[in-house]
Structure 1
Amino acid sequence: MSYRHILPALTLALAAFTGCRGGSPQPAVSTTTPVTVASASPVAFGPAGEAGASLLGDRPLFGVAVPQPDQASLDHIEQTTGCRPTFVEIFVSVVEGMAADALERLPVTPVLSLEPWRPRNGKVQPDVDLGATLGGALDKQYRSLARQIANYQRPVLIRLAHEMNGSWYPWGRVDKNTPAQYTAMWKRVVSIFKQEGATNSLWIWSPNIPRGTSNIPLRSFYPGDDWVDVVGLTGYGVREDSPEETYGDALRQIQAFTGKKIMLTETGAQPDSSKTRWVTAFGPWLARNPTVGGFIWFQKTPGTGANADWRFDDTPARLAAFRTTLQDGHVRCA
């Protein structure tokens, strides 16, 4: 199926979030097919540009990362906040793969954080670092994931190898990795998904805010507008009174080299003396920054995938502040 045939249906599905299925995906390509990286309009096969803009419209969308991404968890969030999330984020090791029914079990649109590593083996893993990936070490695994996503048929947002400007992942600023290798890796993986017919994929390029990183300019890691649908950003409130303090530098950098819509792909605030002020200020900050078209709140506690309690409902006062901030930010619910 060509890009021209799938884009209208995909755009409609993303705008309405009905969850209905579309047409059949393209036939899978043999795993022995060489990876070829196009030099012009590389994501013209998929939903770049138009669908990304349709997905993140004039009101920001609400998403969550939760320990159990199931119907009951989302029902609870809707009951306590008055707003049903549109997205749920899950983390998948490229090396270990994804359960056959993982996407089917999700009750809303998936944001799939693809992590090319073995999660328990630390940040230096030479057999799966950027050089190894560029040599084809993970091609088989990426092709398998691409076929799963193609078979799912509904929209999937793919957050590939996030926080690449940090020094805590094998694809980040560790060992011999370079920004040029990162952008080449990105293009290789996107090209694999093109070959496997995963035209229901939207690609989220998602650095960390500069705080705590090597402070290499974010532009150095950017594959280019033709290769990216949505710009993501990881950043949490830590002893800061407002999201402007948290995100201001990163947004200024990003807006200097792309006009893509932005999604906060991990957000929340540390439980310190500033947290309630930060949560209260979040909605008004969204209203002042219309390029931020969505956010995913990290609703996990230490021991369930988080290193701090970033949740919006860790106290009744903060839950009340979050309910108000959703209204102040004119957040669109599912």
Structure 2
Amino acid sequence: MVRLTVPRVLMAVLGALLLAYAFAVAPATLPGSRDDARSDRLARAEPNSVATAEAEAVAATESSPPPAEPSPSPPPGPQLFPPAGKAFIGVMTHKGPYDFAAVDAFAKAAKRQPQVMLFGAGWASDRFDRKLFDRISGRGMLPMLGWEPWDYGVDAAAREKGTPRRQIDKIRSNQARYQLSRITRGDFDGYLWSWAKGIKSLGYPVAVRFAHEMNGDWYPWCEMSNGNRPGDYVKAWRHVHDVFRAVGVSNVIWVWSPNANWSGQTTKLATLYPGDGYVDWVGVTGYYGTGAFAKYRSFDAIFNETIEEIRTFTKKPLVITETGASDSSGRKAEWIKQTFQMLPAHKDIIGLVWFEVDKERDWRIANSPAAATAFAKAVAAPRYDFTWSPDLLPRTELDD
């Protein structure tokens, strides 16, 4: 048994006091206590979080590019002629831009202002005349020049004598001066240059239908007549085109225009095609009421075979460059109505030129109330409702 003494009691009391101090006082003040840790965290983290946010904001301002100003809207693309999904109506008259009476009569009968006017010029006697083009464009129509390397006086003289038609064809086509080889070798270059410079000076588009119906035998530029040989037509076309290019002409729409095939003996069109680099529009001429098409044949029956052949070698926009209907069988109005019902199915046809002339047959609509009514009703469709202006860009490629 432990004996209690005064020293031992004093030591026990002192030990108890020390133990109480260790548990009650020291934890609140010793380094590493909970309160010290919290205070230390506040002292280090809270001020630094503000500084960090400010620094990050400054860094973001300095490293980020300034806000971009809104970019202007791109300018609208060029307006095309004809617009997408549309087709123009053209007209050709006997006196052309020398007298617009027939054009006015046609427009009145059709209740539609044509957007294109075709007129002819022969190399033997016609010189460039700006007034003719300006008269047409001033009336809101694209001028289309039928440019013909021949002397049309020979044809006129034969008609006045009452010469039979096929005999006229032989007389007309036999003009040695205008053989294709002479065009290619440059015999007419001075004449070509004068027209090229004149057309360039116009400053607005002009369609040039050069040496049309070349697949026949009734013009001196046909390969089947006038001593011409296979391949001569393409060479002549390219030469004429190259002269215009050398002059710097950029406002010509080159229109290549054969006749609708009428027999299995017709020259293959691919051999007469100058190539897409030399042609902007392809065309076809065809009439109901004459020649091989004297009996009633619909638009498709007359044109489809030729169009299908053309589509084997080019996809250029297509124009019916001359057409008309005779009333000799009393079906002119019917043909017009049926034609305009068929046209919308031909998405590649961008225009049709009506031959408003009394020549061999009376093709005019202005002198036939029934034909005029049928034509006016047909072209009242929105497909033909637009205008031509000199600032429009000619459509030279088809939409996909």
State the TM-score, normalizing by the size of structure 2. Answer: 0.66
What are the within-5 Å matches in structure 2 for residues 2-81 of structure 1?
12=79, 15=80, 54-55=81-82, 57-68=84-95, 69=97, 72-81=101-110
CA distance in 2, matches of 1:65, 1:98: 20
CA RMSD across the alignment: 2.3
1:318 is matched with which residue? 371
Helix, strand or coil: the match of 1:102?
helix
Please list every run of 5 or more consecutive structure 1 residues that lacks an aligned counterpart in the other structure: 1-7, 16-53
Find the aligned partners of 1:56 and 1:162 in 2 and give their Cα distance: 26
Cα deviation digits, residues 155-188 of structure 1 (max 9, x gap): 0000000000011110012032234110111110
CA deviation profile, 1:61-101 (whole Å, cap 9, x unmatched): 00100134355544443333221100111101123233522
2:142 to 109, 125, 149: 109
Could you tell me which runs of 5 or more consecutive residues in structure 2 were left unpaired when the two chains were aligned.
Answer: 1-74, 155-171, 290-294, 388-400
Rg comparison, structure with higher value: 2
The offset of 1:333, in angstroms, is 4.3
| Residues 224 and 280 of structure 1, relative CA distance in 2, 3 Å threshold | same
**Is this contact kept in 2: 1:164–1:207, CA < 8 A?**
yes
1:87 aligned to 2:116? yes
Cα distance 1:329–1:280, how it changes in 2: closer, same or farther (>3 A)? farther
1:275 Cα deviation from its structure 2 partner = 2.1
SS at match of 1:58: coil
Where in structure 1 do 4 or more consecutive aligned residues deviate above 6 Å?
Answer: none
State the secondary structure of the residue aligned to 1:211: coil
Structure 2 SS opposite 1:178: coil
For 1:185, the equivalent position in structure 2 comes to 236
Q: Quick one: higher RCO (CA 8 Å, sep 6+), 1 or 2? A: 1
- Alpha carbons 1:89, 1:112 under 8 Å: kept: yes
Q: CA 1:213/1:112 → structure 2, altered by over 3 Å: closer, same or farther?
A: farther
Counterpart residue number, 1:299: 356
Q: Which aligned pairs between 1:174-253 and structure 2 lie closer than 5 A?
A: 174-211=225-262, 214-238=265-289, 239-253=295-309
Distance in 2 of aligned mates of 1:232 and 1:66? 18
Preserved contact between residue 299 and residue 310 of structure 1 (Cα < 8 Å) = yes
Question: Once the two structures are superposed, what CA deviation does each residue of 1:17-53 show, in whole Å capped at 9, x if it has no partner?
Answer: xxxxxxxxxxxxxxxxxxxxxxxxxxxxxxxxxxxxx
Distance 1:263 1:140 in 2: 30
Farther off after superposition, 69-78 or 94-103: 69-78
For 1:226, the aligned partner's letter is G
Shift of 1:126: 1.2
Q: How does 1:149-168 map to 2 (within 5 A)?
A: 149-168=199-218
| Sequence identity (%) | 29
- SS of 1:120's partner is helix
For the residues of structure 2 that align with 1:56 and 1:296, how far apart are their CA atoms?
Answer: 17
Query: Does the aligned pair in 2 maintain the 1:218–1:254 contact within 8 Å?
Result: yes
Distance 1:249 1:235 in 2: 12
Distance 1:328 1:102, change over 3 A: closer
For 1:104, give the aligned amino acid: D
One-letter identity of the residue aligned with 1:249: E
* Aligned amino acid, residue 281 of structure 1: Q
The one-character-per-residue Cα deviations of 1:80-125 (angstroms, maximum 9, x if unpaired) are 3221100111101123233522212223210001000111232111
Show the counterpart of 1:44: none
Partners of 1:117 and 1:329 in 2: CA distance: 40
Structure-1-length-normalised TM-score: 0.79
